[in-house]
């Protein structure tokens, strides 16, 4: 398996994977247009057979802050460290850009705690983070926890 930056040819598979979990109310759906516009933010996990088995986006949203979003790993591939590797790859790229803080909104608090994220109050994050939340049918009470990671 390899972790690499996403390519345009990955967009349809990313959408299928993300929207699978969106259909289970575990994340926001992504349109093809949104994915093409943000493809540079994505990293993907590719199996030895060439199948896209995971994805993660690290999107800059302010001068020193970025968000980890659209983290998804195929059900049958969970528990193999793929999600961790995808988040680490995203943080590595964000660090190169000069980002010092990374947040996520998640239902998987334990997973992100293992990666060094800490739960914070949503209101402590800049309003800019809510740009996508307004499209969520659960807004404003989605139940997701805000978590923050300080890049060393």
Kindly list the structural domains of the chain, giving each domain's residue range(s) and its CATH number in brackets, ordered by start.
2-150 (3.40.630.30)
Torsion of CA 138, 140, 143, 147, to 10 degrees: 130
Nearest to 87 by CA among 107, 102, 109: 102
pTM for the model: 0.89
Nearest to 90 by CA among 124, 44, 31: 44
Q: Enter the DSSP assignment of 134.
A: G
Measured CA distances, 68 to 1, 59, 92, 102 (Å):
21, 7, 12, 7
* 15 pLDDT tier (thresholds 50, 70, 90): very high
Nearest to 142 by CA among 26, 24, 20: 26
> What backbone phi and psi angles, to 5 degrees, belong to 149?
-125, 130
The pLDDT assigned to 141 comes to 57
18-56 pLDDT, tens digit per residue, is 999 999 989 889 999 999 999 999 999 999 999 999 999
Q: Which residue has the tokens 């968000």?
A: 67
58-103 pLDDT, tens digit per residue, is 999 888 999 999 999 999 999 999 999 999 999 999 999 999 999 9
């Amino acid at each position: 398996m390899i972790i690499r930056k996403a390519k345009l040819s990955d967009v349809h598979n990313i959408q299928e994977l993300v929207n699978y979990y969106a259909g289970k109310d575990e994340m926001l759906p992504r349109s093809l247009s949104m994915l093409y516009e943000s493809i540079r933010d994505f990293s993907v996990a590719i199996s030895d057979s060439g199948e896209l088995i995971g994805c993660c986006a690290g999107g800059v949203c302010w001068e020193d802050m970025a968000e980890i979003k659209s983290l998804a790993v195929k059900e049958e591939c969970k528990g193999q460290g793929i999600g961790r590797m995808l988040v680490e790859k995203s943080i590595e790229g964000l660090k190169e850009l000069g980002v010092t803080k990374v947040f996520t909104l998640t239902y998987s608090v334990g997973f992100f705690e293992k990666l060094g994220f800490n739960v914070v109050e949503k209101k402590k994050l800049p309003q800019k983070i809510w740009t996508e939340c307004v499209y969520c049918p659960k807004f404003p009470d989605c139940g997701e926890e805000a978590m923050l990671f300080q890049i060393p």
